[in-house]
Homo-oligomer: A and B are copies of this chain.
Amino acid sequence: MSNPKIVPVILAGGSGTRLWPISRDSLPKQFLSLGGTRTFYQQTLLRVPAAGDSVTAPIVVTGEDFRFFARRQAAELGIDATIVLEPARRDSAAAIFTAARIAAERYGEDSLVLALAADHLVPDVELFRDALLAAAEVAAKGYIVTFGIKPTEPRTSYGYIRTGEALGVAGASRVDSFVEKPDAATAERYLAEGYLWNSGNFIFPASLMLAEAERFEPAILEGVDAAIGAAKTDLGFIRLDKSAFLTIPAKSIDYAVLERTKKAAVIEGRFAWSDIGSWDAVRELGPVAEDGNVTHGPVSLLDSRNAFVHSEGPLVTGIGLDDITIVASDDAILVMPSDRSQDVKNLVAGLKAEKRNEANEHIRIHRPWGTYETICRGDRFHVKKIVVEPGATLSLQKHHHRAEHWVVVKGTAEVTQGERTYIVNENESTYHPVGEIHRVANPGKIPLELIEVQTGSYLGEDDIVRYEDIYNRA
Nearest to A346 among chain B residues (CB) is B302
A51 near B: Cβ within 8 Å?
no
Main secondary structure of the interface of A (DSSP, over half): strand
Give the shortest distance, in Å, between A365 (CB) and chain B (any CB): 15
Nearest to A433 among chain B residues (CB) is B427
Check B333–A315 contact: CB distance below 8 A.
yes
A258 near B: Cβ within 8 Å?
no
A192 near B: Cβ within 8 Å?
no
Nearest to A334 among chain B residues (CB) is B317
Check A314–B335 contact: CB distance below 8 A.
no
Copies in the complex: 2
Check A335–B326 contact: CB distance below 8 A.
yes
Check A300–B356 contact: CB distance below 8 A.
yes
* A332–B315 CA distance with the chains assembled, in angstroms: 5
Check A314–B302 contact: CB distance below 8 A.
no
How many A residues have CB within 8 A of the partner chain?
57
- Quick one: given A346-B302, A409-B378, A451-B453, are A332 and B317 in contact (CB under 8 Å)? yes
A268 near B: Cβ within 8 Å?
no
A328 contact set on B, CB distance < 8 A: 314, 333
Chain A interface residues toward B at CB < 8 A:
21, 300, 302-303, 311, 313-321, 324, 326, 328-337, 340, 343-344, 346-347, 350-351, 354, 356, 358, 375-376, 378-381, 383, 385, 403, 405, 407, 409-410, 426-427, 429, 431, 449, 451, 453, 455
A-B contact pairs, 27 of them (CB 8 A): A21-B315, A300-B347, A300-B354, A302-B346, A302-B347, A302-B350, A314-B328, A314-B329, A315-B356, A315-B358, A317-B333, A319-B335, A319-B336, A319-B343, A319-B344, A319-B346, A320-B337, A320-B343, A375-B376, A375-B383, A376-B383, A378-B410, A380-B426, A381-B409, A383-B451, A407-B453, A451-B451
